[in-house]
Amino acid sequence: MKILYVTSEAVPFMATGGLADVAGSLPKALNGGPVSCRVVMPLYGGIKQEFREKMEFITDITVPVGWRQQYCGIFSTKLDGVTFYFLDNEYYFKRDGIYGHYDDGERFAFFSRAVPEILPVIDYKPDIIHCNDWQSALVPVYYSVLFAENPDFAGIKTIFTIHNIQYQGVYGHSILGDVFGLPAHSASLLDFSGALNLMKGAIECADRVTTVSKTYAKEIMDPWFSHGLDSILRQRSYKVSGILNGIDFVNYDPAKDKVIFENYSAKKPEGKAKNKTELQKLLKLEIEENKPLMGIISRLVSHKGLDLIMAVLDDIVYYSDIQLAVLGSGDKKYEDFFHSVSSRYPGRVSFTCGFVPDLARKIYAGSDMFLMPSKSEPCGLSQMLALRYGSIPIVRETGGLKDSVTDSGDGAGNGFTFKSYNADDMKDAVYRTLEKYKDKEGWQKLKLRALKCDNSWAASAKEYRALYNDLLK
């Protein structure tokens, strides 16, 4: 079974978010046995020279982009047994950053059109082309409209995965032919609310549509979560399903992690205490092992639930002995809030503005609990990383948070949860966690339960293989 995994970013080559983590991990987990999975992505100017030096030039082709004929160089390399193809066009991809350019529609139309165009020259005809998010949403559309009837391309199935439905690729009708190179009769596939919506086109044309958690697959049928696409998703619900993401258990392993202060595991959990003490020193928090330390690692934007934190954090800090380690950046009002809280509670609250990967690992390893009260969370990786490092997650029951964290109020869960998007409900979940923390024996059992949670890619890969098999029947 041959899978071509199409992505706009992948770890370790180029990354801005969770899609890159998935694209860097899932193909590796899929490979082996009856499955061969290869990855294709753009050759960005920002990809480090150390990776470029290992790439092999295959050939170049010409790709039509509307009325233009554009150069496309094809390079390949292998990493962890996975073949990666890189599509080169310096006009489109030799720029600062990945997204946010005025011509992103044209850039990723080129990338999407190039995917089927390269198949005859890479000697790899996939059974399934698996596309991700709006940047490759045109691939199923191009295949359906332009390639499906060609004998050289016949029989290929397409899957489209929605990692975040908020970003859909919406453009004016005027560029249907001029930029996307699609005939006028195909406009209905993309048309939505008076515009061309690339994600809508993928939902229409792909053989299967997946999301990154089972709960999110249900949520996006609801206008509250769908950003307008709930009607088309309900119409196509027969082909929509959710598969929870995993995390890289080799890369994130407290027993071998060289970044944290001391290694530990479920079998030898004692080292976690040293990580807490050293983190307190590093962040200039009061050094006290018995004081609960809560971590927050997040983009500082509204859908991460930060308004709930702003509403009640002073109460939580004032009326408890909790310490707080916050890492993140984003909207100024949230950055200003955490700067203010850290200045009001020196030794109790630490705020590091930005994202420092090594510090993030130290917070996962050194914190007792981890707060993630998201308004929406398609999957979420932070709660899984917290569990991996034995930090007890406190989450709102949405998306992948609901699918990966269960409330321990009955003595069997791995964290603490709350349902409503309500600050008092979040505060109650935090207070329940702090009460549990006082029960040292019970807390130790909960921590060990967290350390033993298996959120590796193995289970997710098994579900994807089942999906692929079902599609090819």
123 and 139, same domain (yes or no): yes
160 and 110, same domain (yes or no): yes
What is this structure's pTM? Answer: 0.93
How many other C-beta atoms lie within 10 A of the C-beta of residue 354?
9
Instruction: Tell me if 353 sits within 8 A of 336, measured CB to CB.
Output: no
Per residue in 95-117, pLDDT tens?
998 999 999 999 999 999 999 99
Q: How far apart are CA 276 and CA 270, in angstroms?
A: 11
189 and 276, same domain (yes or no): no
Q: Can you give the pLDDT at residue 207? A: 98
Q: How far apart are CA 386 and CA 368, in angstroms?
A: 9
Q: Can you give the pLDDT at residue 424? A: 97
Q: Can you give the pLDDT at residue 33? A: 81
Instruction: Tell me if 336 sits within 8 A of 303, measured CB to CB.
Output: no
Contacts of 72 (CB under 8 A, 6+ apart): 60, 61, 62, 63, 87, 88, 89, 110, 114, 117, 118
Instruction: Tell me if 71 sits within 8 A of 60, measured CB to CB.
Output: yes
Q: How far apart are CA 151 and CA 172, in angstroms?
A: 33
146 and 240, same domain (yes or no): yes
pLDDT grade for 411, boundaries at 50, 70 and 90: confident
Amino acid at 224: W
pLDDT grade for 377, boundaries at 50, 70 and 90: very high
CATH number for position 211: 3.40.50.2000
pLDDT grade for 128, boundaries at 50, 70 and 90: very high
Hey, is 119 helix, strand or coil? helix
Contacts of 231 (CB under 8 A, 6+ apart): none
**The dihedral formed by the CA atoms of 458, 463, 469 and 471, expressed in degrees to the nearest 10:** -140
Domain of residue 28 covers 2-246+458-472
Domain count, the chain: 2
13 and 141, same domain (yes or no): yes
Residue 49 pLDDT greater than 90, yes or no: yes
Per residue in 86-99, pLDDT tens?
999 999 999 998 99
Q: How far apart are CA 287 and CA 366, in angstroms?
A: 12
Q: Can you give the pLDDT at residue 310? A: 98
378 and 465, same domain (yes or no): no
298 and 397, same domain (yes or no): yes
Residue 411 carries which DSSP code?
S
Per residue in 261-310, pLDDT tens?
999 999 999 999 999 999 999 999 999 889 999 999 999 999 999 999 99
From residue 416, give the alpha-carbon distance in Å to each of 1, 199, 408, 429, 459: 41, 34, 6, 6, 23
Per residue in 428-458, pLDDT tens?
999 999 999 999 999 999 999 999 999 999 9
Instruction: Give the angle 252-405-266 at the CA atoms, nearest 5°.
Output: 45
Average pLDDT, integer, range 69-75:
98
Quick check: bond before 12 cis, omega within 30? yes
Average pLDDT, integer, range 372-378:
96
Residue 32 pLDDT greater than 90, yes or no: no
What the block records as the tokens of 87 is 């599509």
117 lies in a domain?
A: yes
Q: Beta strand 157-162 with 128-132: parallel, antiparallel or unpaired?
A: parallel
Q: Can you give the pLDDT at residue 373? A: 98
CB-count exposure of residue 367 (10 Å: 0-12, 13-18, 19+): buried
18 lies in a domain?
A: yes
Which residues are 10's β-sheet partners?
A: 14
Q: Can you give the pLDDT at residue 341? A: 97
410 and 310, same domain (yes or no): yes
Q: Which of 136, 148, 77 is nearest to 110 (CA)?
A: 136
258 lies in a domain?
A: no
Residue 18 pLDDT greater than 90, yes or no: no
Average pLDDT, integer, range 181-200:
96
Per residue in 242-269, pLDDT tens?
999 999 999 899 999 999 999 999 999 9
From residue 307, give the alpha-carbon distance in Å to each of 43, 302, 430: 38, 7, 15
User: Which is it for the CA torsion 96, 101, 104, 107, positive or negative?
Assistant: negative
Q: Can you give the pLDDT at residue 388? A: 98
241 and 346, same domain (yes or no): no
Q: Which of 382, 450, 452, 456 is nearest to 414 (CA)?
A: 450
265 lies in a domain?
A: no
Amino acid at 203: I
309 lies in a domain?
A: yes
Q: Which of 212, 238, 231, 236 is nearest to 376 (CA)?
A: 212
Q: Can you give the pLDDT at residue 222? A: 96
210 lies in a domain?
A: yes
Phi, psi of 206, deg, nearest 5:
-70, 150
What the block records as the tokens of 47 is 């990809």
159 lies in a domain?
A: yes
- Specify the length of the chain in residues: 473
pLDDT grade for 59, boundaries at 50, 70 and 90: very high
Least confident range from 41-50, 336-345, 406-415, 427-436: namely 406-415
Per residue in 209-243, pLDDT tens?
999 999 999 999 999 999 999 999 999 999 999 99
User: Which is it for the CA torsion 228, 234, 236, 239, positive or negative?
Assistant: positive
400 lies in a domain?
A: yes
Letter string b/e over residues 223-242, b meaning 16 or more CB atoms within 10 A of that residue's CB: eebbbebbebbeebeeebeb
Average pLDDT, integer, range 393-416:
95
237 and 352, same domain (yes or no): no
Q: Can you give the pLDDT at residue 107? A: 98
**Terminus-to-terminus CA distance in the chain, angstroms?**
12
53 and 73, same domain (yes or no): yes
Q: How far apart are CA 116 and CA 405, in angstroms?
A: 39
229 and 298, same domain (yes or no): no
